[in-house]
Structure 1
């Protein structure tokens, strides 16, 4: 049996990557603050809050869709079916996209530019070390069906 077919991901576990990125943004803001023009005090807070709500909604919708299809939600478990409905119609990684939107929302709410920088870093790490392995797993399990899905659905946006 193909190794990718058996297990999609052992490390890094995505919530830990994003959790580390949030902690790094907070630490870097304390050690090396980046000055920000404040402008209208409520606008960044409201937009950031809306982004966080959208991120939570996207994540919940994606998890609900995976559970309804009786396939793995956790990235280190083997997929039992290829899910192409719900938020997966628009992006191949709605949960990771939700995590990224939440980081950007936190950056807006706190006016901390390090959140934006760390969000970009988390996207790079996720793409290189997690998403590529997950995609190899899905390709080995679902073959042409997954290739067709990839041609019609973007990885992030």
Structure 2
């Protein structure tokens, strides 16, 4: 095994793939076992507007996270080695802006498209990211960056 393949957090799933699987599962469940607790798509101006704004917030948070990582010339992809500990920009507010943005986007898109199952599946998506990706990344970063990462953890919240 090469050094490159060992120098990563070894998350259980590639996060964008998790979102795709979540959306496919939500659509399938909507078709097989429909439930109703949201207004039909585009029939509630509040629901449509709220979910659109929420989606923009989620995408913006994620983009700020990606931009900050790239500014410091470290990898964005979770399967590649971390080259630098980024604790500036959006990372002063949350240690996981990309994942936070992804969860917000998943939830808001589910609300926007009236995917009740998507709203429900947001919970396992969140838990999979938290335990299967983030906790592994935290252990990896603590091992790689030591005291600097521990200070970052102490000063910056995981989610918000």
TM-score, normalised by the number of residues in structure 1? 0.90
Is the contact made by 1:84 and 1:149 (CA closer than 8 Å) also made in structure 2?
A: yes
Unaligned runs of 5+ in 1: none
Q: Which moved more, 1:2-11 or 1:134-143?
A: 2-11
Cross-structure match for 2:114: 111
Following TM superposition, the consecutive aligned residue runs of length 4 or more in structure 1 with deviations greater than 4 angstroms are: 2-5
Alignment partner, residue 154 of structure 2:
151
Cα distance between partner residues in 2 of 1:79 and 1:37: 41
- Aligned: 1:84 with 2:82: no
Q: Unaligned stretches of 5+ in structure 2?
A: none
Matched, 1:24 2:29: no
Question: 1:133-152 alignment to 2 at 5 Å?
Answer: 133-152=136-155
SS of equivalent to 1:78: coil
* Superposition map of 1:16-55 within 5 A: 16-36=17-37, 38=39, 41-55=44-58
- The alignment's TM-score, normalised by the length of structure 2, stands at 0.89
Q: Answer whether contact 1:5 1:141 (CA < 8 A) is retained.
A: no
CA distance in structure 2 between the aligned counterparts of 1:41 and 1:11, rounded to whole angstroms: 37
In the alignment, what sits opposite 1:125? 128
Task: Give the alignment partner of residue 73 of structure 1, picking from 72, 76, 82.
Answer: 76
Contact 1:4 1:133 in 2 (8 A): no
Q: Distance in 1 between matches of 2:46 and 2:135?
A: 37
Q: 1:97 aligns with which of 100, 123, 129?
A: 100
In the comparison of the two structures, how many residue pairs are matched?
156
Q: CA, structure 1 residues 131+3, in 2 after alignment: closer, same or farther (shift >3 Å)?
A: farther
CA shift, 1:10, in A, is 5.4
Q: Is the 8 A contact 1:107 1:113 kept in 2?
A: yes
